[in-house]
Amino acid sequence: MRGITDTVKHLIIINVIIFIGRMTLGGGNLFMQWLALYFPENDLFYPWQIFTHMFMHANLMHIGFNMFALWMFGTAVETQLGSKKFLFLYLSAGLGAVLFQLGYYYFNYLPLYSELLSSGLTSNEIVGMFTSNETIGNISKEQLMLLKEAYPIFNASMVGASGCIMGILAAFGIMNPEAKLMLIFLPIPIKAKYFIPGIILLDVISAITGQSFFSPSNTAFMAHVGGAVVGALIMWYWKKTQFNKNRWDR
């Protein structure tokens, strides 16, 4: 493939192969059950999902947009960083996405879970209702409201390379602040030093308000923020130490 660096090419190939497997094997559920990232309190959670979810995608549009962004920005970043640092940045941003998204889930889930326990329900009863999606016994209206709020968090799953790519996008912006970028739906050129913080801000607003701007409503917005923050911090460190062995352009 022309116009693409080796690591980016290999990452795209891996993502495509896993996507084909996800769509063709086990009725589309086998890969989702084992490789997507589930909420850690859920029995479907396994430690390896922290990494494997980065290579899973929900549908053709999801993988199409992500792989296009990986090719467009990843190739430029890998050319400047080299393959080893690029891969470290990519995976670290993915882990940052996990940290932020799961932290956000727990921030919302734990108070609800605590209130359910205080209301008289046991831990086994709560988890049982979350797992079966059926209520047991005489549930009060207050308990039912709490269950409805906590249920989607307990059963949430996360897939996609978006967190990794947001880290790459942040790195691109730091290395090329004057580069002009634009959204497909808003074809107005904006310098990277303004464009990328703007995208991150929109993700933060979306996570808080539930209002999606350019992404589907079920997007893990805090994962985007986490990937971008980690990518920016790594690039800041490498740029700051550019005159020693850790400099970003070695």
CB 37 within 8 A of CB 47: no
Give the dihedral sign, CA 163/165/171/173: negative
pLDDT digits (tens, 9 = 90+) for 15-24: 999 999 998 8
Residues 24-36 have a mean pLDDT of 86
Q: Residue 92, Cβ neighbours under 10 Å: how many? A: 17
Instruction: Select from 31, 24, 32, 246 the least CA-distant residue to 155.
Output: 32
Residues 87-108 have a mean pLDDT of 96
Output the six-digit token pair for 2: 């022309």
Please give the pLDDT value at position 187: 66
Residues 218-224 have a mean pLDDT of 78
pLDDT digits (tens, 9 = 90+) for 46-96: 999 999 999 999 889 889 989 998 998 999 999 999 999 999 999 999 999
Q: Given a cut of 90, is residue 152 above it in pLDDT?
A: yes
CA 111 to CA 108: how far, in whole Å? 6
Least confident range of 93-97, 172-176, 240-244, 246-250 = 246-250
Backbone angles phi, psi at 182, to 5 degrees: -155, 155
